[in-house]
Amino acid sequence: MKYFQPQSVEEALELAYTSEATFLAGGTDLVLHMRTGKVQPLGLIDLGKISVLREIKEIEGSLEIGSMATFAELGKSELVFRKAHALWQACQTMGSPQIRNQATIGGNLGNCSPAADGLPALLALGAEVCLSTKAGNEILPLESLLSRTPLLEQGTLIRGFRIPINGQKSGFAKLGRRKALAIARLSVAVSVEMNGSRIDNVRVALGAVGRRAFLSEALGQELSGQELNNELLEKGVLEVQRIVREALGTRASAPYKRVAVAGVFREALATIIPEGGK
């Protein structure tokens, strides 16, 4: 197996084009998969030395996050805290301090586990993904990418994410078996625009419900443009339970998750609603 440590994105793309090697981000999933034999790469292109991929910055009304930003960096970023709160929250509970120091948001998407902690938040926040190949760049909504199989063609690099900054408020909640080191059994991310007591442009995404995290457009539409009150909350709960029931079908976890999602959904909403608000 060959191992490359390129210093620039261009070099990385060139290597991917010529070598059929696999991109290596933080490695907290890939190193394990290589040991168990689940993944047997022909070579590795370590992205760790490309500093431009680690950047977290605000540009022209968007929050831009490089794919190699670690969960720890995102979880400590003031900018992420203010502009992409759901993502910031997801970064606090993912794995353990050691894993957050190593694992990256791009790797989270590349590995694309059903329970990936970062994806529901990115979906709810309306993130776009920036992909690059030697042939060129592509920017597309994350939910569009997540509907592709395979997720990424050989030689496609996840450069980063672009989250629109438009005053949206967001929240996230995760159900795990314990606080630290718990793989999400269920996670919910919500983002809304508050117009007085009315909420608009509601986006709800679920994790650990099915093969990949997904955005429920139906639920978002259902809740958008309405007064945020208990009645709406209860309507949302019923709807999210229906979605989980449909997504999980007869899976063993379905009866549990169908009930549990009500609490996780309420908790996710509670994290965005200021105290004392309805």
Partner 1 sequence: MIEIKLVVNEKPYNLNVEPSERLIDALRNRLGLLGTKEGCGEGECGACTIIMDGKTVNSCLVLAAQANGSVLTTIEGVGNRRSPHPVQKAFVEVGAVQCGFCTPGMVLSAKNLLDKNSHPSESEIGVAMSGNLCRCTGYDKILRAVKIAAEEGKQ
User: Which range in 12-20, 46-54, 77-85, 143-151 contacts partner 1 by CB under 8 A?
Assistant: 46-54
Contacts (CB under 8 A) with partner 1, residues 184-223: none
Put residue 273 in one of left, alpha, beta given phi > 0 → left and psi -120 to 50 → alpha. beta
Question: Does 28 engage in binding with partner 1 (CB under 8 A)?
Answer: yes
Binding-site size, partner 1 (CB under 8 A) = 27
Minimal distance, residue 31 CB to partner 1, in Å: 5
- C-alpha to C-alpha distance for 259 and 236, rounded to whole angstroms: 13
User: Which range in 1-9, 78-86, 213-221, 224-232 contacts partner 1 by CB under 8 A?
Assistant: 1-9
User: Which range in 51-59, 89-97, 150-158, 262-270 contacts partner 1 by CB under 8 A?
Assistant: 89-97
- Residue 23 or 214: the one with the smaller Cβ distance to partner 1 is 23
Minimal distance, residue 97 CB to partner 1, in Å: 5
Question: Does 177 engage in binding with partner 1 (CB under 8 A)?
Answer: no
* Terminal C-alpha separation, the chain: 58
- Residue 61 or 178: the one with the smaller Cβ distance to partner 1 is 178
| Other beta carbons within 10 Å of 65 | 31
Please confirm whether the linkage preceding 150 is cis (ω < 30° from 0). yes
- C-alpha to C-alpha distance for 91 and 19, rounded to whole angstroms: 33
Pick one of 8, 52, 97, 238: the residue that binds partner 1 (CB under 8 A).
97
Q: Which residues fall within 8 angstroms of residue 254, CB to CB, at 6 or more apart?
A: 244, 245, 248
| Other beta carbons within 10 Å of 163 | 25
240 near 147, Cβ under 8 Å? Answer: no
Pick one of 17, 19, 34, 253: the residue that binds partner 1 (CB under 8 A).
34
DSSP 237-251: HHHHHHHHHHHHTT-
- Residue 104 or 191: the one with the smaller Cβ distance to partner 1 is 104
- Residue 41 or 164: the one with the smaller Cβ distance to partner 1 is 41
- C-alpha to C-alpha distance for 194 and 23, rounded to whole angstroms: 40
Question: Does 72 engage in binding with partner 1 (CB under 8 A)?
Answer: yes
Site string for partner 1, 5-24 (x = CB under 8 A): x------------------x
What stretches of 23-166 show up as alpha helix (H) in DSSP?
30-36, 71-76, 78-83, 85-93, 97-102, 105-111, 118-124, 142-145
Question: Does 253 engage in binding with partner 1 (CB under 8 A)?
Answer: no
Question: Does 107 engage in binding with partner 1 (CB under 8 A)?
Answer: no
- C-alpha to C-alpha distance for 83 and 249, rounded to whole angstroms: 36
- Residue 107 or 126: the one with the smaller Cβ distance to partner 1 is 107
| Interface positions with partner 1 (CB under 8 A) | 1-3, 5, 24, 27-28, 31-32, 34-35, 43-44, 46, 48-49, 72, 95-99, 101-102, 179-181
